[in-house]
């Protein structure tokens, strides 16, 4: 007699089937964009910089790794479109809509599609690292480089700041937190990978 409780393998197969169908992909992309929005609202403003601490980069990296480069990119474009339309998906510490995208943190937001694509590409196309966790760490680090490069570069242009100033305002204070977020995203990704393969 078979158990009425879905097996571990059955759940994993159902999740894979959802990712492979067009309606399933669309549902995952929308749900993932809402997850980024929820993480954006976990936000702590800092008195010395216009850039708040949020969980957005954690969400971007994790979604990129889980959904892959194409779906991760599309998810972040949808997220930016939702914000541009005036939906409350960005950090609450700033204006809504297009002014938020054009403000001092706009570069961070515009980096998200590329960062998610980089994270997704690395975990699917790189064979240099055998450990899934180490590979996910590498993916997170490279995605974060994209986020910081575009975010800090944008802030430097908008606020007319020197490289040293923008380093202290938009990069250095966030490195410890980003290390934690990358590690958390890598842990979740590698755990899910082991779970679906067992």
In a domain, 5, yes or no: no
Inter-residue contact 113 to 80 (CB < 8 Å): yes
The beta strands (E) that lie in the chain are given as 43-44, 53-54
Assigned domain for 107 exists? yes
Separation CA 114–CA 147 (nearest Å): 8
pLDDT in tens, the chain (198 residues): 444 444 554 544 555 555 667 788 899 999 999 999 999 999 999 999 999 999 999 999 999 999 999 999 999 999 999 999 999 999 988 888 999 999 999 999 999 999 999 999 999 987 766 788 999 999 999 999 999 999 999 999 999 999 999 999 999 999 999 999 999 999 999 999 888 765
- Residue 122 inside a domain? The answer is yes
Please report whether residue 118 resides in a domain: yes
In the chain, the number of structural domains is: 1
Model confidence, pTM: 0.86
Written as six digits, the tokens of 113 are 């599609």
- The tokens describing 156, both together, are 């430097």
In a domain, 106, yes or no: yes
Residue 6 lies in a domain: no
Look up the CATH number of the domain holding residue 73.
1.10.1760.20
Domain range for 62? 17-43+52-197
Residue 91 covered by a domain: yes
| Residues sharing a CB contact under 8 Å with residue 168, sequence separation 6 or more, in sequence order | none
Domain contains 135: yes
If we measure between CA atoms, which residue out of 57, 55, 176 comes closest to residue 107?
A: 57
């Amino acid at each position: 007699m078979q158990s009425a409780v879905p097996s571990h393998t059955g759940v994993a197969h159902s999740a894979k089937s959802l990712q492979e169908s067009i309606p399933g992909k669309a549902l995952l992309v929308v749900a993932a964009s809402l997850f980024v929005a929820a993480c954006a609202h976990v936000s702590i403003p800092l008195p010395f910089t216009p850039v708040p601490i949020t969980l957005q980069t954690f969400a971007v990296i994790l979604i990129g790794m889980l959904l892959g480069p194409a779906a991760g990119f599309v998810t972040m474009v949808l997220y930016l479109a939702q914000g541009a339309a005036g939906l409350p998906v960005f950090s609450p510490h700033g204006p809504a809509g297009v002014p938020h995208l054009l403000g001092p943190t706009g570069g961070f937001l515009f980096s998200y599609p590329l960062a998610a694509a980089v994270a997704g590409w690395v975990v699917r196309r790189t064979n240099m690292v055998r450990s899934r966790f180490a590979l996910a760490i590498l993916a997170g680090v490279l995605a974060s480089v994209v986020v910081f490069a575009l975010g800090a570069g944008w802030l430097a242009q908008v606020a007319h700041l020197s490289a040293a100033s923008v380093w202290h305002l938009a990069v250095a204070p966030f490195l410890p937190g980003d290390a934690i977020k990358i590690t958390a995203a890598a842990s979740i990704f590698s755990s899910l990978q082991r779970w679906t393969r067992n």
